[in-house]
Structure 1
Amino acid sequence: MNWQAAIKGFQNYLKLERSLSGNSIEAYTRDIDKLAQFADSEINKLSPEGIKLADLRRFIIWINELGMIPSSQARILSGIKAFYKYMLMEDLIKADPSELLEAPKIQRKLPDTLSYDEINAIIAAIDLSKPEGPRNKAILEVLYGSGLRVSELTELKLSNLYLDIEFIKVTGKGNKERLVPIGEAAIKALKIWINEARVHVPVQKGEEDIVFLNRRGKRLTRVYIFLMLKELAQLAGIRKSISPHTLRHSFATHLVEGGADLRAVQEMLGHESITTTEIYTHLDREYLKSTIIQYHPRN
């Protein structure tokens, strides 16, 4: 089997069996492309099924010499392990050469966390007199008030808002849906945007159910939200490295610091486990709702 055919089969597996997003499949493909480049540079032109553990160890040395940092090396190794797991499942190989392959030791760097006062300052920097003001306020309130990923926010649908019972339905990684409690401040901002501002936006065909739209009636991009948040942080005088994920991380941090149960935060964030060794635990909706009401500072 050549590398092109192996990678194509792997892409189909990631899409059909694991239901990964296009971005995730593209990232995995880039990782295996690097291995294919290495294999092609070898004297014997290694095939996907012909690679051994010793070859993979030489590959790690190769990418290290390219100047890749340990975290990037670890991500590539994760892609390789997924690739050979697929090869083994499809009976394309008899043994997994990556099974005993160790990832480089990396230090986990936590993203910056905003204090509650800093989040208030960013929200206060929004000019509500501008047409996009109410929308941008609702965006920040939802990101911080429910801990959503930016991709989950851009795809949020009107039909998945259950504001009367203070929940929203979110589609996360792998198209997995979860119900997330939403606080009073976010609900108020959403209602103002939807009922008073969004009604004046000329909605494009196919975007009728999307909550957050630009002035042309199309859904917002992740890049727009990133740039908008950066600008607001500068206006608020905050010099930290800010991204939409900063609000998600702050959401979780503030809940935990306030005494919230880790499993409840885990469920709200859509993580499968608190750590790689702990079992994923489902919690009832009322407990999740009471947790966010009791511990979230904007409530």
Structure 2
Amino acid sequence: MYLGKRSNGIYFVEFFDSEENRKRRVSTGKRNKREANLFLYSFKENQKKNKKIIYKSLVEYRDEYVKFVAEAYSKNYLTSIKLSFRQFIKFVDDVPLKKITIPKTQQFLSTVYIKAPKAAELYSRTLKASFNRAVDWGYLSENPFNKIKLPSSKKPYPIFITKSEFKKIIDNTQDSEMRDIFYTAFNTGMRLGELVNMKWKSIDFNNQKIYIQNSNSFATKNKRDRVIPLNKIMQTVIANKLKKVSSIVYDDFVFSKIRGIKINEDYVSKAFKKIVRLCGCDERIHFHTLRHSFASNLVQKGASIYIVKELMGHSDVATTQIYAHLIKENLEDVVNLLD
């Protein structure tokens, strides 16, 4: 930043505008150098007071944010972010972040919502989080997505299956390895990715617990470790599997068709769906339903939502609240506790 003089004798201040990513000039309106210097001093002070916004284009920011997310979050979340940015950039083009306005973001989400409400909700959620980070990093003064509200849509409660329905599925499962995987999902609430990546070293045989931990080769959905105690059914499942293993290699996968080779997630998912259809069960039931069923059955038996949250590995109890409608406590009985 320096003081210059025009041919008409009026001084100007030249400085670099980080928001515009270019040099700019501001007239002092003064011909007297002393007065012009006073203007320069005042201008510098105002610049210090105002928050500096670093210039960043949308594509540049996307690349930086994707790199950040890749180191901290799951692959599925990363895929959602890449998709959201791709669609948004396609709509607004590669513009400077500061040029992205509330009306433009509203127009984007409204256009998507007309054709695909679920996609609009995904884009809104992921882009809002990413632009909050842009504010934190000094690329924006405010998040244009924070002011956008999509039409509210009633979220359906998750489908779950009872023990009798689960028994029907198990009875129609001929493959013993698939049976063990289904039992484990129903009795631990583990995600499919966690199941197929589980190794013998993850099981504490003395305390009858499974430790779900992140490693160089696998990361949970939210990168959080957790512990799940084994109930009697799972203790039996693990004990029976141990009888079939001549010697345990702790770095081997617990579930495997060929020793040392991980079972494909898609293979398990399709096998489960095939059996569901064979049993004539609800078409909406899929492998992830076993995880929902674990949580739902616990809540119905009186388990605390906060305990279920820990067992499920949810980052926020708000996620676990989708099972709250299953709590069968009588309101009068609860109030009478004060008597």
Helix, strand or coil for the counterpart of 1:173?
Answer: coil
Give the TM-score normalised by the residue count of structure 1: 0.79
TM-score normalized by the length of structure 2 = 0.70
Q: What's the counterpart of residue 158 of structure 2? A: 111
The residue that corresponds to 1:11 in the other structure is 66
Q: Deviations over 1:217-275 (max 9, x none)?
A: 41112211111111222333324322121111111111111222222111111113332
1:178 to 226, 232, 235: 226
In structure 1, the gaps of 5 or more residues are 128-132, 279-299
Counterpart in the other structure of 2:106: 57
**Greater relative contact order: 1 or 2 (C-alpha under 8 angstroms, separation 6 or more)?**
1
8 Å contact kept, 2:177–2:257: no
Q: Tell me the secondary structure at the aligned position of residue 168 of structure 1.
A: strand
Distance 1:226 1:277, change over 3 A: closer
SS in structure 2 opposite 1:169? Answer: strand
CA distance in 2, matches of 1:251, 1:200: 31
Q: Which amino acid aligns with 1:100?
A: K
**TM-fit CA distance, 1:276:** 6.8
1:78 to 115, 125, 145: 125
Q: Tell me which residue corresponds to 1:229.
A: 272
1:257 aligns with 2:307: no
Structure 1 contact 137–189 (Cα < 8 Å) conserved:
no
Deviation at 1:209, TM superposition (A): 2.8
- Residue in structure 1 matched with residue 195 of structure 2 by the alignment: 153
The corresponding residue for 1:32 is: 85
| Alignment check: 8 A CA contact 1:53 1:98 kept | yes
SS of the aligned residue for 1:259 comes to coil
- Structure 2 residue runs of 5 or longer lacking an equivalent are 1-55, 214-219, 322-339
Alignment-derived partner of residue 336 in structure 2: none
| CA positional deviation for 1:81 | 0.6
In the alignment, the residues of structure 1 paired with residue 242 and residue 123 of structure 2 have an alpha-carbon distance, to the nearest angstrom, of 42
Whether the 8 Å CA contact 1:112–1:240 is kept in 2: the answer is no
Q: Deviations over 1:163-185 (max 9, x none)?
A: 33221011432321000111121
Residues 18-54 of structure 1 deviation map (CA, whole Å, 9 limit, x = unaligned): x1122211211110111111112xxxx6433310111
Distance of 2:312 and 2:319 partners within structure 1: 15
Query: Secondary structure of 2:143's match?
Result: coil
Deviation at 1:277? 11
Identity %: 20
SS at match of 1:275: helix
Task: State the partner residue of 2:236.
Answer: 188
Inter-CA distance 185–269: structure 2 relative to 1 (3 Å threshold): same
Deviation sequence 1:67-110 (CA, Å, 0-9, x none): 112x3211110111122112112211222222212233121112
Cα deviation 1:263-298 (Å, max 9, x = unaligned): 2111111113332799xxxxxxxxxxxxxxxxxxxx
